[in-house]
């Protein structure tokens, strides 16, 4: 057996994990400001739901298309300082949105946010894996919980900072981007001096299954991602509208309810990785996607108090899958951390964008309530998880 396979992993670098998770929080907090201010933009620019969906699609498409390309390129040629460069695009996107005079300018700002995200996620996910010390699920969860909690902060900041002051208040968050650029520059230095030396050689690690079986498993994972992020698109882009239309809440109250959902999603994201390390990622994937189905089916028919409680359950259960899916895919295709991370983060962004656009058109044709009744059945796709091979058992058999 080769030296690369038998070498004992280094200790977990928790300061590095904490720093990259915090930067993920800053990045996704800034990116989440866009959907959080949709009610303000809808009224200020006289937008319909289809135009709101197109804003999300523009942001998510630029994020999704470039991420696999960035990951594939940096697998071959690591770029430690691409992270602060990527956050510079986010900074420019925020400033563009703050001063946008019309809908076309809003689309341009959304596109800049997407480019920043596409550069940030593949390399930051690689840093999390390099710092994991072999505890890949825990590291991926810690990394992702930063992003999920950052998304949860967006509605709060929109409610208490942007709504009272108007669209121009977005410019103040450029200072947050500058702070993130500074931290990411330090992490780039760690990555350059230590992280690249720890990167596994692709040839030294064999894939656990034949190529055909790996591709079938990836197809199943993408189908599960479709169900998860299409459903999440209905929450992230339209939950506030659902609450204001269906229950008569104010926009600020709706944003607080969205924060409750996103905070539960952050907790679920953190739980999923360590549970996957202990009990197997395949079980977490299966239980997360299919296990949320009873809650999604009940939500469109619940009263306000039950809706909030169901949203907490949905956030906890559904969000536990993503870190398990990413690490599971990395183990299916060892040596391609950047490409795998970029592909799955990109697909997640893409499905969220397409979902927001499609559901926006559907809401214009029917109603927000109808959208939630249809989306309730999406987690049933989780039954496909039974087709996933057991990577952990295969790896143990191969090393025996």
Lowest mean pLDDT among 46-50, 340-344, 383-387: 340-344
Q: How many folded domains does the chain comprise?
A: 1
Answer yes or no: is 41 within a domain. Answer: yes
pLDDT at 19 over 80: yes
Confidence band, pLDDT 50/70/90 cuts, at residue 2: very low
pLDDT tens-digit series, residues 276-307: 777 777 888 888 888 899 999 999 999 999 99
96-100, 116-120, 207-211, 324-328, range with greatest mean pLDDT: 96-100
Q: How confident is the model at residue 100 (pLDDT cuts 50, 70, 90)?
A: very high
**Which pLDDT score, from 0 to 100, does residue 92 have?**
95
Query: What are the E-state strand segments in the chain?
Result: none
Please check whether residue 3 lies inside any domain of the structure.
no
Report the 10 Å Cβ neighbour count for 336: 20
- State yes or no: pLDDT of 1 exceeds 50: no
Determine, yes or no, domain membership for 342.
Answer: yes
pLDDT higher for 251 or 70? 251
- In-domain check, residue 5: no
Residue 243 in any domain: the answer is yes
CA count, 13 A, side-chain hemisphere, 239:
27
The confidence score (pLDDT) of residue 310 equals 96
Q: Is residue 172 scored above 60 in pLDDT?
A: yes
pLDDT at 399: 52
- Structural domain contains residue 1: no
Q: Express as a percent the part of the chain with pLDDT over 90.
A: 29
**Residue 127 is assigned to a structural domain of this protein:** yes
pLDDT at 9: 52
Q: How confident is the model at residue 395 (pLDDT cuts 50, 70, 90)?
A: low
Helix (H) or strand (E) holding 191: none
Q: Is residue 307, in this structure, part of any structural domain at all?
A: yes
Helix intervals (H) in 37-48: 38-44
Check: pTM over 0.75? Answer yes or no.
Answer: no
Q: What pLDDT, on the 0 to 100 scale, is given for residue 109?
A: 94
Q: What is the CATH number of the domain that holds 84?
A: 1.20.1250.20
- The whole domain housing 63 covers 11-399
- DSSP one-letter string for 130-157: HTSTT-HHHHHHHHHHHHHHHHHHHHHH
């Amino acid at each position: 057996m080769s030296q690369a396979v038998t070498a004992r992993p280094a200790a977990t670098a928790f300061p590095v994990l904490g720093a990259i998770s915090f930067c993920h929080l800053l990045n996704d907090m800034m990116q989440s400001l866009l959907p959080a201010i949709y009610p303000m933009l809808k009224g200020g620019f006289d937008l319909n739901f289809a135009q709101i969906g197109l804003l999300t699609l523009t942001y998510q498409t630029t994020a999704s298309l470039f991420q696999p390309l960035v990951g594939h390129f940096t697998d071959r040629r690591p770029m430690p300082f691409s992270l602060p460069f990527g956050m510079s695009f986010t900074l420019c996107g925020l400033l563009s949105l703050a001063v946008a005079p019309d809908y076309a300018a809003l689309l341009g700002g959304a596109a800049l946010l997407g480019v920043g995200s596409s550069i940030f996620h593949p390399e930051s996910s690689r840093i999390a894996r390099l710092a994991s010390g072999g505890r890949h699920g825990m590291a991926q969860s810690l990394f992702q919980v930063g992003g999920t909690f950052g998304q949860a902060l967006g509605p709060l900041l929109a409610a208490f900072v942007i709504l009272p002051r108007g669209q121009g208040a977005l410019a103040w968050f450029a200072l947050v981007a500058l702070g993130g650029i500074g931290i990411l520059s330090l992490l780039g230095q760690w990555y350059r001096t230590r992280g690249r030396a720890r990167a596994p050689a692709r040839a030294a690690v064999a894939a656990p299954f034949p190529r055909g079986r790996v591709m079938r498993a990836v197809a199943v994972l993408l189908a599960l991602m479709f169900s998860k992020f299409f459903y999440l698109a209905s929450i992230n882009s339209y939950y506030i509208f659902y609450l204001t239309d269906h229950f008569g809440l104010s926009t600020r109250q709706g944003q607080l309810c969205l924060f409750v959902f996103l905070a539960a999603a952050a907790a679920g994201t953190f739980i999923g990785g360590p549970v996957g390390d202990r009990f197997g990622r395949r079980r977490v994937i299966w239980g997360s996607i299919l296990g949320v189905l009873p809650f999604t089916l009940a939500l469109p028919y619940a009263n306000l108090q039950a809706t909030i409680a169901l949203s907490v359950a949905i956030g906890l259960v559904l969000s536990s899958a993503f870190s398990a899916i990413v690490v599971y895919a990395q183990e299916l295709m060892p040596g391609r951390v950047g490409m795998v991370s970029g592909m799955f983060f990109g697909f997640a962004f893409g499905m969220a964008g397409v979902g927001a656009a499609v559901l926006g058109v559907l809401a214009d044709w029917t109603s927000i309530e109808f959208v939630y009744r249809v989306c309730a059945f999406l987690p049933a796709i989780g039954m496909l998880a039974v087709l996933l091979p057991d990577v952990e058992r295969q790896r143990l058999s191969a090393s025996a």
